[in-house]
Amino acid sequence: MNVVSVAKRDFLDVRRAKLVWAPAALYVLFMLLFYWGQSNSSEPEFYWVLWNLAGLGGALVIPLVALVAAYLSIAGERESGSIKYQLSLPVSRTDVVAGKLLARSAVVTVALLAAFAVGIVAARVLVPDMSLEYGEYAAFAGLTLLYALAYVCVAVGISAATASRSRAMAGAIGFFFVFNLVWNFLPVGPTRMVEFALDRAGIDYSETLLEFVFSLSPTGAYLNGMGLVFPSDFGPLQAVGAGSGVGDPFYVQDWFMLVILLGWVVLPLALGRWRLERADLG
């Protein structure tokens, strides 16, 4: 009951914050642009909309939606001192972490579900001749919500582990930069570093090992999990090596990407709670 009361109070406080909804509006804008782009095509393809949305929206906008919504959830109250009043009630620190997670996850989920609902309307209005695959659309929405939840958990974990707004912001920006941009898109990322080190050491390795390293970040797992959404013969999916077949090692198969994302749900929260439990709140 304490968790629910914390979540309800936090949801009511944060639901009107414009900063929280702005990235979600950006996600809707990208979706509308992708549908509009297909409206100019002689053969509009629904899967191209999802593919573009997974790439640009998944790599840039979804992490921003989740991090902005949750990075101040606890650190802000620690800096202002209001968390001491909350903890004077019959509420434990674990209740605070769990309640904040529920509230911020609810905000992000509502925002993204609204965006996907707008997407269906936009498809019908902008590209009436395009065939909508509702099953795949639902699978894409579910995978995206799990991905967003992983980032919410990271943000709440960072917020629980830091004592000020500035540190929480630095942690959120640092995580986004390292585990999103550097890890998956820059040539100095861990995948290329592992490849370079193994080459220099003369050690044989497989491409699946490098694919596994790429998948260890939330964004890498999300992108490589797209095989759960798209048909196996979708060209761009085969070109980037996502959608691993049954014969591949388990750690690069589509279903294991869900395990990695669930790991990002659990571990940051556990570390954040551990740090908050031992923090001196004055």
Among the listed residues 182, 218, 169, 157, the one whose alpha carbon sits nearest the alpha carbon of residue 68: 169
More confident: 233 or 29: 29
Pure H helices in 177-250: 183-185, 190-201, 207-215, 218-224, 235-240
Using a 10 angstrom Cβ sphere, with 0-12 exposed, 13-18 middle and 19 or more buried, the burial of residue 203 is exposed
Average pLDDT, the chain: 87
172, 86 in Cβ contact below 8 A? no
At 282, the pLDDT band (50, 70, 90 cuts) reads low
The confidence score (pLDDT) of residue 233 equals: 77
227, 258 in Cβ contact below 8 A? no
More confident: 40 or 182: 182
Q: How far apart are CA 5 and CA 20, in angstroms?
A: 21
> What mean pLDDT is predicted for residues 263-271?
95
Q: How far apart are CA 235 and CA 187, in angstroms?
A: 24
Collapsing DSSP to helix, strand or coil, 206 comes out as coil
The confidence score (pLDDT) of residue 239 equals: 62
73, 104 in Cβ contact below 8 A? yes
* Structure tokens, 253: 């198969």
> What mean pLDDT is predicted for residues 22-47?
85
- What pLDDT digit, counting tens, does each position of 86-136 carry? 777 788 889 999 999 999 999 999 989 999 999 899 888 888 888 888 999
The confidence score (pLDDT) of residue 262 equals: 97
- How many C-beta atoms lie closer than 10 Å to residue 254's C-beta? 20
At 246, the pLDDT band (50, 70, 90 cuts) reads low
pLDDT at 226 over 80: yes
* Structure tokens, 281: 């709140």
pLDDT at 16 over 80: no
Torsion of the alpha carbons at 47, 49, 52 and 54, rounded to the nearest 10: -70
pLDDT at 201 over 60: yes
At 143, the pLDDT band (50, 70, 90 cuts) reads very high
> What pTM, to 2 d.p., does this model score?
0.91
- What pLDDT digit, counting tens, does each position of 50-96 carry? 998 998 888 888 998 899 989 888 988 888 878 878 777 788 889 99
